[in-house]
Structure 1
Amino acid sequence: MRGRPLLLVLALLVAEGLLKAWAVATLEPGVNRPLLPGVLHLGFTLNSGMAWGLLGGFAAPLAALRVLVGLGLVGAMGLGRLPRRWVWPLALIAAGALGNGLDGLMRGAVVDYLTSPLLDTVSRAVAREPFPIFNLSDVLVCAGTGALLLLSWRQDRRAAQARKQPLS
């Protein structure tokens, strides 16, 4: 069981590295190319910070932190120290953290190449800012985090139901 999540992390890192190399060679800043019109477009930016440009002056510390988080998760998976249900979501988070961390260390900024007009609309309505350009690593971190939240919610529901059940 330990090997498969680690292989997933490696495969996702390779895929993200190839996507970022392609984006650098092919895409231009300020030019959007629709993939799914109105939903998902290709764009390009180098981001030295986080979403919305937060912590833009801290590219190296952010990159180092991302790599440390990713390596910590990979180490925990390799040692088998994680609850089984958390392994796959944490593998996604590890791949995303390593993907952006390594990119930040090597380039001094993270390559972002996906935009979403749909998310822009929501973000402008809520925060009056467009949604940031993002990449596969960002999607992996969000998907892994979402899965962990769902698993936690389900576990809490089961525990609450168990407390309601009369003992036999």
Structure 2
Amino acid sequence: MLTLVIAGLTAVLDQIVKLIVQGNMELGETIPLIRNVFHLTYIINPGAAFGIFPHQEWFFLGIVVVLYAAFFIFRSRIPAKPVYFPAGVGLLLGGALGNAIDRVRIGGVVDFFDFRIWPIFNVADIAICVGVALIVLYFWRKD
């Protein structure tokens, strides 16, 4: 249950932040928060991380369906302890859902965090990366 709560909250937070960005910025606009270090830059990414595989919405949506199917098939095998494992799965699922909603809604993913030396990303991307890191940590520490 914790996994689904985290997934839901993650997807909702991601969508709220994206709607705020879309409602207050023009596409392509950049707002320097720390000049030449950290900007908010509103773009639509038609691909995956680093813009790879652009305009493959059905492929990415298929991955999300497979992730959720795997979760529902194997959910009884997800250990409750340590709590960071189901939390990591929830972050992964929530981030994937947040980006999938964008793909269905606008045909790409709203990105806006811009560190100038790294591709622009969003809340869902952060959740996916942290979730995967927690899952890897679990398997690395597991006997």
Q: Do both share a fold (TM > 0.5)?
A: yes
Residues 96 and 124 in structure 2, CA contact (< 8 A), matched pair in contact too: yes
**CA distance, structure 1, for counterparts of residue 99 and residue 53 of structure 2:** 15
Aligned residue pair count: 140
Cα displacement string for residues 105-129 of structure 1 (whole angstroms, at most 9, x for unaligned residues): 1211111111113xx1xxxxxxxxx
Q: Tell me how far 1:54 sits from its aligned partner.
A: 0.8
TM-score by length of 1: 0.72
**CA distance, structure 1, for counterparts of residue 34 and residue 134 of structure 2:** 25
Q: Which residue of 2 aligns with 1:18?
A: 16
TM-score by length of 2: 0.83
Q: Tell me how far 1:94 sits from its aligned partner.
A: 0.4
**CA distance, structure 2, for counterparts of residue 67 and residue 20 of structure 1:** 22
Cα displacement string for residues 16-65 of structure 1 (whole angstroms, at most 9, x for unaligned residues): 11111111122234432234555542111111111222110312321332
Cα displacement string for residues 56-97 of structure 1 (whole angstroms, at most 9, x for unaligned residues): 03123213322442x2365358x4331223211100000001
**CA distance, structure 2, for counterparts of residue 26 and residue 115 of structure 1:** 16
- 1:66-145 equivalent positions in 2, closer than 5 A: 66-69=64-67, 71-72=68-69, 75=72, 79-84=75-80, 85=82, 86-117=85-116, 120=117, 131-145=118-132
Indicate which of 52, 55, 58 corresponds to 1:57: 55
Identity among equivalent positions (%) equals 27
Unaligned 5+ segments in structure 2 are none
**CA distance, structure 1, for counterparts of residue 16 and residue 135 of structure 2:** 27
Unaligned 5+ segments in structure 1 are 121-130, 160-168
**Structure with the larger RCO, 1 or 2 (CA within 8 Å, 6+ apart):** 2
